[in-house]
Structure 1
Amino acid sequence: MEEKSLMFRLAVLSLCAVQCFAANKALGTLYRWKQIDYEFPTTLDRLAAIQNGDFIQQNAIILGVERWKDRLFVSTPAWKRGVPATLSSLPINAESESAPLRPYPSWEWHNAGNCTGFTSIFRMAIDHCGTMWVLDSGQVEAFETPRQLCPPSLIAIDVETDRVIARHVIPPEFVLQNSLISNLVVDSRDALCKDTHVYIADTWRNGLIVYRASDAAFWRFSHFTFLPEPLMSNYTLHGLNFQWTDGIFGMSLGKLHNGDRPLYYHAMSSAREFVVPTSVIRNQTRVSNAVGEFKALRGDRGDIGQVSAAAIDRNGVMFFNLVSQDSIGCWNTLKPYEIENLGIVAHNDKTLIFPNDLRLDHEIPQRAWIISNRLPMYQFNLIDPNEYNFRIMYLDLKKAVQDSVCQN
């Protein structure tokens, strides 16, 4: 099976690299940076930040991305010293390919003390009502000497008014020692987003935290399908070999049908995809006693099939980042999850080195937004400041699946 899957993926990569991708031009780059910079109030403020160590340019990395109308939002977690702002905005109409990030909603939110501002934001998800749900880890310098300055929080921002409307501290009993609360997906069921749940992945402690907006309640549970696969915890990327034992990370929501919808999920260090009805995890009592509700899909992605983020479009096609293959894959959820039904819609060994985040916007036509950021090289201090290392890319979903196994 592994030999078959590897041969299939290599054939698809070869074909799409010279035909599908080149012909369709489905993937484009909106922004790219050699190093990240910020839009400081004045040039003197920027120089002062550099001199006092508040801004160390080589230590900033973009991690998460979201889009709302004419703006993009990006996160820059404080994984190393000298990251002055952790959430920023950019115009969708780029005037410069390496534009400085504009701290969002203002600089004041990144300078506030006593845990009243932002500390270190990982990722964001915007619901169809225009609320951005922001995951703030509260931890700084995770790649140096980790310090937990503030409790992990889920923050809600109205992106129409640029107003922070709520901060929900995740209860300490749901944050375990060495937790890495890293990713989230929003499940909104009604036109006014009253029936909203947020699903939050704890990648290192293999748990899922659920937040219910109607009464601001949290609960947490674990399942063996959240665990990493030992043999998939070894990564090789552009000559760099490293080990990550990362559990549940990527999550995507299927279509609503008869009042329920599936949550697809996978561990980062895994080749398998799993699914559970959201009616199970939205019920605190039911999920604690669930038997046989969490199911493995039949096939797998092969021996270098590690995936970071994934999302499902309006047509029921899942798009996912193949981090070890410099590629974006697809699966039509109407078909069995088998290697013959998995396609490669984009591949580039220069621009897609470690595609990390992937989000779908609410526009018509719908697009995917991808962050590629060479994260392993950043972690091990191997970033070359003379190369373009960080990109915000977009994928035309219709062109991407045209004449592919994923086309409806």
Structure 2
Amino acid sequence: MVEMTMLKCSLVVLTVAICHHQVFAKNKALGTLYRWKQIDFAYPTDDERQEAINFEEFIQPNVITLGIERWKERIFLSTPRWKKGVPATLSSLPLHSNDESPLLEPYPSWDWHNAENCTGFTSVFRMAVDHCGVMWVLDSGQVEAFETPRQLCPPTLFAINLETDSVVGKYPIPNEFVLQNSLITNIIVDSRDALCRDLHVYIADAWRFGLIVFREEDESFWRFSHYTFYPEPLLSNYTLHGLNYQWSDGLFGMSLGKFQSGDRPLYYHSMSSSLEFVVSTAVLRDSARVSDAVGEFRLLGESRGAEGQVSAAAVDRNGVMFYNLISQDSIGCWDTRKPYQNNNLDIVARNNKTLVFPNDLRADHEVPQKLWIVTNRLPMYQFNLINPEEYNYRVIYLDPIKAVQDTICQPSIPE
């Protein structure tokens, strides 16, 4: 996963040159909800905030936004504890605010971020909300990964009821499925009925190239390994705005396709790769298939090319996949009904100022549906090159229907 690969990367060029501002968005479908130069939190009092600063419990340049979700009138953001001085790792924001850089409200309360002995949150990476209003939270259990990594707690799934703002489930991933140097980075929720029964969560391990499955019904886990989860060597070298670096991140982005003959596909890719793959979720949901499913993981189609690295992806209700092209300051699209080949791929937005490193992307459950993107200049953050006088972190929304109008991704089959 892009985020923690700092431990595996080497910096070759330290000159960061922001190029001439290029802006492009299909049909004005893209907008910025919030933006920050640096992240700040809503402390109970100014004195408590100052005390946190004095004791280096809050070091503002060390805070970065990473994961995003939306449920009804709220946005949820994660701020992993990759460096010292991150006071809270999961926060909420109102969907509407008069402040373009609002304070983050630790969620569900400050108590969950100050807890000890692994009873609260340690370092949240990403979240996924099911259609019943439960947010599944992936906590890595690791702190200071960009400095001196410490695994304080096991990687854990939390379930939070967003109607009551209460934690209703806590599921540590068993040690047998977390390998040495595992980086548990991303999750996606697969639920099949109106009441969210028969729910599974798919979890990506970017450094040890595995896909972990959680079944809520009996709280069980299992793990798939496959060669398609590995990075491509030549795609592990990145150049972004004059900064050259190496990340060897494997399985990362996952998105669920529409139901087909009673099942649905899981599309997936490694971060450091230009290839997309697919597997039936019927395979993933069957723990008995762990040892005999090698042939079920298939290449989807053509390569995206030399700058085709993708972080997160999501498929909207119309069957269109949107994905973050992190080396191109862009968001791409593909109609999943069409073959995965370059003449069926398109760009719906490009902006080398506001879309610098689009990291997470989620489709909400609202009508009409929106996509939500976090951009965070992660490589610059990793190497302490963030300019506090510029806007570095953004929450961006995308109208998926407007975005694909008059593109090759516009669905030809009415829904």
Which TM bucket (shorter chain)?
over 0.9
Q: What is the SS of the residue equivalent to 1:49?
A: helix
Select 1:125's aligned residue among 108, 113, 128.
Answer: 128
Q: Tell me which residue corresponds to 1:148.
A: 151
Q: Tell me which residue corresponds to 1:296.
A: 299
Select 1:136's aligned residue among 102, 116, 139.
Answer: 139
- Whole-angstrom CA distance in 2 between matches of 1:212 and 1:374: 34
Q: Tell me which residue corresponds to 1:158.
A: 161
Select 2:264's aligned residue among 249, 261, 264.
Answer: 261
User: C-alpha displacement at 1:161, in angstroms?
Assistant: 0.5
Which runs of structure 2 are paired with 1:7-406 in the superposition (5 Å)? 21=24, 24-406=27-409
- Whole-angstrom CA distance in 2 between matches of 1:225 and 1:19: 34
- Whole-angstrom CA distance in 1 between matches of 2:205 and 2:30: 30
- Contact 1:30–1:94 under 8 Å retained in 2: no
Q: Tell me which residue corresponds to 1:4.
A: none
- Whole-angstrom CA distance in 1 between matches of 2:356 and 2:294: 39
Q: Greater relative contact order (Cα 8 A, min sep 6): structure 1 or 2?
A: 2
Mean Cα displacement is larger for which, 252-261 or 306-315? Answer: 252-261
> RMSD of the alignment, in Å?
1.4
User: What amino acid is the match of 1:129?
Assistant: C
Give % identity.
71
* Deviations, residues 215-235 of structure 1 (Å, cap 9, x unaligned): 000001200000000000000
User: C-alpha displacement at 1:290, in angstroms?
Assistant: 1.2
- Whole-angstrom CA distance in 2 between matches of 1:281 and 1:67: 26
- Whole-angstrom CA distance in 1 between matches of 2:402 and 2:383: 36
- Whole-angstrom CA distance in 2 between matches of 1:148 and 1:20: 41
**1:20/1:61 Cα in 2 relative to 1: closer, same or farther (>3 Å)?**
closer
Q: Tell me which residue corresponds to 2:10.
A: none
- Contact 1:29–1:392 under 8 Å retained in 2: yes
Mean Cα displacement is larger for which, 247-256 or 282-291? Answer: 282-291
* Deviations, residues 236-281 of structure 1 (Å, cap 9, x unaligned): 0000000000000000000112221100000000000000000011
**1:291/1:172 Cα in 2 relative to 1: closer, same or farther (>3 Å)?**
closer
- Contact 2:64–2:80 under 8 Å retained in 1: yes
- Contact 1:137–1:152 under 8 Å retained in 2: yes
- Contact 1:78–1:86 under 8 Å retained in 2: yes
Q: Tell me which residue corresponds to 1:5.
A: none
User: C-alpha displacement at 1:21, in angstroms?
Assistant: 4.1
4+ residue runs over 6 A deviation: 17-20
User: C-alpha displacement at 1:298, in angstroms?
Assistant: 1.8
- Whole-angstrom CA distance in 2 between matches of 1:257 and 1:359: 22
User: C-alpha displacement at 1:291, in angstroms?
Assistant: 3.8
- Contact 1:310–1:321 under 8 Å retained in 2: yes
Q: Tell me which residue corresponds to 2:11.
A: none
User: C-alpha displacement at 1:300, in angstroms?
Assistant: 1.4
Unaligned regions of 5+ residues in structure 1, if any? 1-16
Q: What is the SS of the residue equivalent to 1:292?
A: helix
User: C-alpha displacement at 1:285, in angstroms?
Assistant: 1.1
- Contact 2:255–2:267 under 8 Å retained in 1: yes
User: C-alpha displacement at 1:18, in angstroms?
Assistant: 12
- Whole-angstrom CA distance in 1 between matches of 2:41 and 2:80: 14
User: C-alpha displacement at 1:287, in angstroms?
Assistant: 3.1
Count of residues in Structure 1 that have an aligned counterpart in Structure 2: 392
Unaligned regions of 5+ residues in structure 2, if any? 1-19
User: C-alpha displacement at 1:393, in angstroms?
Assistant: 0.3
Q: Tell me which residue corresponds to 1:7.
A: none
